[in-house]
């Protein structure tokens, strides 16, 4: 048997890059931006992907890595968009309340000045 040439499955394994496990991104989402525990779910899939990659099961590692990336993307997007939406709502609420206060102040000054004219 000639051992100088690698077998077909060994060449395929060497040619295809190992999938990334996105572990650092998952840890960051778990610690800092844990929206609805999506960061923790991503961390679980990242650890599973790393275990499968070490065990040599590249297809399972690729599938789990894809799920970890999806959950990390959702966690990051929700954690970035939610504060922006809340800030926009707070700003529009303050603007609306300021305009309402200004209109009510104008209403009360009009009523007071109108009652002064009737007394004369």
76-97 per-position pLDDT tens digit:
998 889 889 999 999 999 999 9
Question: Distances from the Cα of 70 to the Cαs of 29, 39, 43, 54, 58, in angstroms?
Answer: 12, 10, 11, 21, 18
Q: What pLDDT does 117 receive?
A: 54
Q: What pLDDT does 64 receive?
A: 96
Q: Do 23 and 47 contact (CB within 8 A), yes or no?
A: yes
Tokens of 28: 């960051």
Cα of 19 vs its chain's centroid, Å: 22
Query: Residues of the chain whose pLDDT is less than 50?
Result: none
Place of tokens 């104008």: 106
Say how many C-beta atoms besides its own lie within 10 A of residue 19's C-beta: 21
Q: What pLDDT does 110 receive?
A: 63
Residue of 22, 42, 46, 21 whose CA lies nearest to 33: 42
């Amino acid at each position: 048997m000639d051992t100088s040439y690698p077998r077909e499955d060994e060449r395929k394994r060497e040619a295809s890059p190992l999938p990334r496990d996105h572990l650092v991104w998952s840890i960051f989402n778990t610690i800092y931006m844990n929206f609805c525990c999506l960061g923790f779910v991503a961390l679980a899939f990242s650890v599973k992907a790393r275990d499968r990659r070490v065990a040599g099961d590249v297809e399972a590692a690729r599938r789990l890595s894809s799920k970890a990336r999806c959950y990390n993307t959702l966690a990051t997007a929700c954690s970035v968009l939610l504060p922006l939406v809340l800030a926009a709502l707070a700003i529009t609420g303050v603007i609306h309340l300021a305009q309402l206060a200004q209109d009510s102040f104008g209403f009360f000054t009009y009523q007071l000045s109108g009652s002064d004219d009737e007394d004369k």
